[in-house]
Amino acid sequence: MDKLVAANKKLWDELAAVHAESKFYDVQSFLAGKSSLKRIELEELGDIAGKSLLHMQCHFGMDSLSLARLGARVTGLDFSGQAIELARSLNTQLGLSARFVESDVAGARTVIEEQFDIVFTSYGVLVWLPDLKAWAKSIADCLKPGGMFLLVEEHPFTYMLEQEADRLEIKYSYFEREPIELPVSGSYADPEARIEQPVTYEWVHTISEVITSLIGAGLTIESLREFPFCMYRKFNSLVEDEDGYFQSPDHPGLPLLYSLRARLRI
């Protein structure tokens, strides 16, 4: 398992620089004042001014820094050292006071002593985690009693699908448990990017596994919302809407994204 995670870390070390230069992330517009946050997380988080917030799996920090611009006291955490270095550089350029820490999710409490009002994570994060019980425990350990956890994530239903010509077809089981080995060909942010790491490993987690893990760690689920769109063109047949999300014109009822809000029991 450690070898699989190490391969994924090598991939994300490479992707940090690729993504920072991509049109998808548009760092120059971000530096000029554009927020990287989407409507869903803004609605779910509400007013975060003055609150302490831990952003788990923060990549190179754009969302973390967007949250800091809204007045939160932000700590970003990611297992990619290259991504953390880029996040710190952006933080300095913007004159913000966010903090960025290199660690995997399970080790968060070994490098961060503080407990937070909010723990937040979003968009394509869970497939990189082999153990959701350890993930949920880390969230609970990092929250203050009564603190809020927010997840906005690709719906696991999407991992059942594959693009066939101009159609989406169901190809895989919803209940996949073994890590999936996938060849690396570019990135969602830059399909033409040359990546040295040849393969990646992903773990698909059902929504019931997510919920059960969080409840087992001492959190109470407050809301679960599902949406017929996702945050990038995961399949070629998806089209972009006015909010910057992507949905299927042929299958407008497909669940492609969900948000889950929970609170640590006092």
Q: What CATH number should be reported for the domain holding residue 124?
A: 3.40.50.150
Full domain range(s) for residue 126: 2-264
- Predicted pLDDT of residue 113: 93
The mean per-residue pLDDT over the stretch 248-262 comes to: 91
Residue 262 has pLDDT above 80, yes or no: yes
Confidence band, pLDDT 50/70/90 cuts, at residue 241: confident
Confidence band, pLDDT 50/70/90 cuts, at residue 237: confident
Confidence band, pLDDT 50/70/90 cuts, at residue 26: very high
Residues 89-148 pLDDT 10s? 999 999 999 999 999 999 999 999 999 999 999 999 999 999 999 999 999 999 999 999
Residue 251 has pLDDT above 90, yes or no: no
In angstroms, the CA 80 to CA 6 distance is 10
Average pLDDT, the chain: 95
- Predicted pLDDT of residue 250: 82
Half-sphere exposure for 33 (CA within 13 Å, toward CB): 0
> 123-134 burial string, b = 16+ CB within 10 Å, else e?
bbbbbbbbebeb
Taking a C-beta distance cutoff of 8 angstroms, is the pair 130, 5 a contact? yes
Confidence band, pLDDT 50/70/90 cuts, at residue 211: very high
Residue 10 has pLDDT above 90, yes or no: yes
Residue 195 has pLDDT above 90, yes or no: yes
Residue 130 in tokens: 């082999």
The mean per-residue pLDDT over the stretch 55-66 comes to: 98
Confidence band, pLDDT 50/70/90 cuts, at residue 243: confident
User: What is the secondary structure of 78-92 as a DSSP string?
Assistant: ES-HHHHHHHHHHHH
The mean per-residue pLDDT over the stretch 74-78 comes to: 98
Residue 86 in tokens: 């880029």
In angstroms, the CA 125 to CA 71 distance is 24
The percent of residues above 70 in pLDDT, for the chain, comes to: 100
**Confidence (pTM):** 0.95
Q: Where are the alpha helices (DSSP H) in the chain?
A: 2-20, 27-31, 39-45, 62-69, 81-94, 108-111, 132-142, 207-216
Residue 89 identity: S
In angstroms, the CA 140 to CA 214 distance is 8
> Across the strands, what pairs with 76?
55, 100
Domain count, the chain: 1
The percent of residues above 90 in pLDDT, for the chain, comes to: 82
In angstroms, the CA 94 to CA 177 distance is 42
Q: Kindly give the pairing relationship between strand 257-264 and strand 219-227.
A: antiparallel
Residues 141-174 pLDDT 10s? 999 999 999 999 999 999 998 888 878 888 889 9
